[in-house]
């Protein structure tokens, strides 16, 4: 795992975010938005939004639960499934099914239309759905890049054991020690899926100058031997410092998000995130005129 230098300084926890209010995205995703850019802006950059869906039990059905066609421009969506299945398809030709442990990294960039539904097999058998969707900003120079789609299977994600049986880390993006995550990103960032098992402290090296966020999905995490981040809460750390010190309840699940800030203006409206109000206006015009494409009915997820 990454080594901590003698002169290292610990990042301070500066804020804890929580949201007990749940809302539905379509009829398939009961989410709590644990952070979003209109309130936090540069404190969370390059990240924009974090939706935590579930866990919720769904009964068997032949209906398709989810959210139908809708556009995006100017950013990426990252979907991580913990339980259940999600099927996706979009107007750029991307699409697929992801299940527990899998990740879908969709770059909307210049614009596309997509849809997300429960997997057909999952819907027929029913079960617990639990997933997160993260919105990742793009720098101005890349916002009008061609869309792309990355389907990352659990088997492709490196898993690193923490010392002294303190847990393990799945490296989705960025680096952890010698392991590099499979996700291709536009700006430097780390996305680590943590399974923590020990109440003994452990230091995790994170770059000085990065925004660092720790989202706890199950259990609780104690930070710097003093403050606690509980289930469905996100801790925001100061940019200064090159490691965080944490301990946890047994069987804790958390996501560590770290990234080099994109210190540019943010203008957003619904599914569009750009740099200026004029760019937002143009995105709406382009979507309404069909320039973001249509989902091919011949394409199957």
Span 120-138, average pLDDT: 97
Burial class (CB in 10 A: 0-12, 13-18, 19+), 6: exposed
Question: Does residue 220 carry a pLDDT above 90?
Answer: yes
Task: Give the Å distances, CA to CA, from 157 to 57, 173, 251.
Answer: 27, 9, 20
Kindly report the backbone phi and psi dihedral angles of residue 298, in degrees, each rounded to the nearest multiple of 5, phi listed first: -80, -15
Tell me whether strands 75-83 and 103-107 are parallel, antiparallel or unpaired.
Answer: antiparallel
163: CB partners within 8 A, 6+ apart: 1, 202
Span 98-115, average pLDDT: 97
Determine how many CB atoms are found less than 10 A away from the CB of residue 93. 13
Give the pLDDT confidence of 234-289 residue by residue, as tens digits: 999 999 999 999 999 999 999 999 999 999 999 999 999 999 999 999 999 999 99
User: Do you know the residue count of the chain?
Assistant: 301
Q: How far apart are CA 112 and CA 109, in angstroms?
A: 8
- Given a contact cutoff of 8 angstroms between Cβ atoms, the answer to whether 46 and 35 are in contact is no
Q: How far apart are CA 260 and CA 187, in angstroms?
A: 7
Give the pLDDT confidence of 32-87 residue by residue, as tens digits: 999 999 999 899 999 999 999 999 999 999 999 999 999 999 999 999 999 999 99
- Given a contact cutoff of 8 angstroms between Cβ atoms, the answer to whether 26 and 68 are in contact is yes
Write down the pTM of the prediction: 0.94
Residue 300 confidence class, pLDDT cut points 50, 70, 90 = very low
- Given a contact cutoff of 8 angstroms between Cβ atoms, the answer to whether 109 and 124 are in contact is no
Q: Which residues pair with 175 in a beta bridge?
A: 180
Per-residue model confidence (pLDDT) at position 269: 97
Question: Does residue 15 carry a pLDDT above 90?
Answer: yes
Residue 225 confidence class, pLDDT cut points 50, 70, 90 = confident
Span 119-144, average pLDDT: 97
């Amino acid at each position: 795992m990454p080594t901590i230098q003698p002169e290292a300084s610990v990042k301070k926890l500066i804020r804890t975010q929580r949201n007990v209010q749940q809302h539905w995205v379509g009829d398939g995703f009961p989410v709590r938005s644990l952070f979003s850019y209109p309130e936090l802006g540069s404190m969370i950059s390059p990240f924009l939004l974090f939706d935590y869906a579930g866990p919720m039990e769904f009964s068997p059905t032949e209906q398709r639960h989810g959210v139908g066609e809708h556009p995006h421009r100017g950013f990426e969506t990252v979907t991580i499934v913990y339980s259940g299945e999600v099927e996706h398809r979009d107007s750029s030709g991307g699409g697929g099914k992801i299940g527990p442990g899998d990740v879908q990294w969709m770059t909307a960039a210049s614009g596309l239309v997509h849809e997300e539904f429960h997997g057909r097999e999952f819907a027929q058998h029913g079960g617990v759905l639990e997933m997160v969707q993260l919105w990742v900003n793009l720098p101005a120079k890349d916002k009008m890049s061609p869309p792309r789609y990355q389907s990352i299977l659990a088997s492709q994600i490196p898993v690193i054991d923490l010392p002294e049986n303190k847990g393990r880390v799945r490296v989705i993006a960025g680096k952890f020690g010698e392991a590099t995550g499979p996700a291709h990103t536009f700006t430097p960032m780390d996305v680590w899926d943590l399974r923590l098992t020990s109440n003994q402290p452990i230091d995790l090296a994170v770059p000085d100058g990065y925004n660092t966020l720790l989202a706890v999905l199950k259990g609780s995490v104690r930070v710097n031997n003093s403050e606690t981040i509980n289930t469905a809460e996100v801790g925001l750390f100061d940019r200064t410092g090159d490691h965080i010190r944490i301990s946890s309840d047994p069987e804790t699940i958390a996501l560590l998000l770290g990234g080099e800030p994109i210190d540019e203006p943010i203008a957003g409206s619904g599914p569009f995130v750009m740099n200026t109000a004029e760019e937002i206006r143009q995105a709406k015009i382009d979507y309404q005129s069909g320039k973001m494409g249509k989902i091919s009915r011949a394409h199957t997820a």
